[in-house]
Amino acid sequence: MLIATDLDGTLVPHDRVAPSARTAEVLERADCAGIPIVFVTARPLRWMEDFWPHVGRHGLAIVSNGAVVYDAHAREPIAVHGLDPEVGLAVTEAITRTVPGATYAIECLDGIRRDPEFVEQYRVPEGSPVGPLEEIWDVPALKLLVRHPGMDDDDLRAATIAAVGTAATATWSVGGLVEISAAGVTKASALVELCARLGIVADDVVAFGDMPNDIPMLAWAGTSYAMAGAHPDVVAAADHLAPPCAEDGVAQVVERLLG
């Protein structure tokens, strides 16, 4: 068995930077029982430091919506599936034609880079590049981030996804932000790749999630759980409903699985 879990809104509430004591204890119990629990998150690498002590002996995590399979023990990527600058800049041009006033940032292995109008709601590391994307986008991006300060969330998502088409993969996990990966890159694609490395088939995977970017992963896993209070599309896609994130819902289910 392998357990794959989203982080924010699933394993931990959005305002937490590390698992609760109860969840941390269950993660350790599962690891000792030989059941890997793999974090599968939209978070960039720069937001993961507080989770690495809980990653288990397997040492593996999936970050940036599947763009990176990461070895937390070695602190190095095992696989990277980035959005090339040429493709990404063409995507931003298509979005801007449809969504005038859209602002952009990119997450790379070395951190965030953003255009001057993009407002990052969380702390940005000092010295992060700021400038026109065509000047600062010179390496594959793990994610292209799109905001529009004056646009309704649903309208932004619909317009951006339509503009992107099949050139890349657009999804979302929080309001006011659309996250774009290279074509075909999802949490599911990375989980399939990781499980193939470990010799684990889909039927032996239990997955947890709460937002639309989790749906491909939940659909692939043999057993899937949406968190109580999850997005309605996620609840519809999952096999089961887990207790709320705020009540250590993933830990409650894993405790039952451990017996």
**For the segment 111-128, what is each residue's pLDDT rounded down to a tens digit?**
999 999 998 877 777 889
Fold for the domain defined by 2-81+185-258: Rossmann fold (3.40.50)
Q: Under CATH, to which class is 85-182 assigned?
A: alpha beta
What percentage of the chain reaches a pLDDT higher than 70? 100
Q: Please state, in angstroms and as integers, the Cα–Cα distance from residue 248 to each residue in 8, 58, 211, following that order.
A: 12, 22, 17
For the chain, list residues with pLDDT below 50.
none
Q: Where are the domains of the chain?
A: 2-81+185-258, 85-182
pLDDT at 27: 96
- Closest to 95 (Cα-Cα) out of 147, 44, 152, 154: 147
pTM of the model: 0.95
Structure tokens, 58? 């397997």
The torsion angles phi and psi of 64, rounded to 5 degrees, stand at 55, 45
Predicted local confidence at residue 171, as pLDDT: 95
At residue 232, the pLDDT reads: 97
Q: 259 vs 46, 48, 59, 251, 252, CA distance in Å?
A: 35, 30, 24, 12, 11
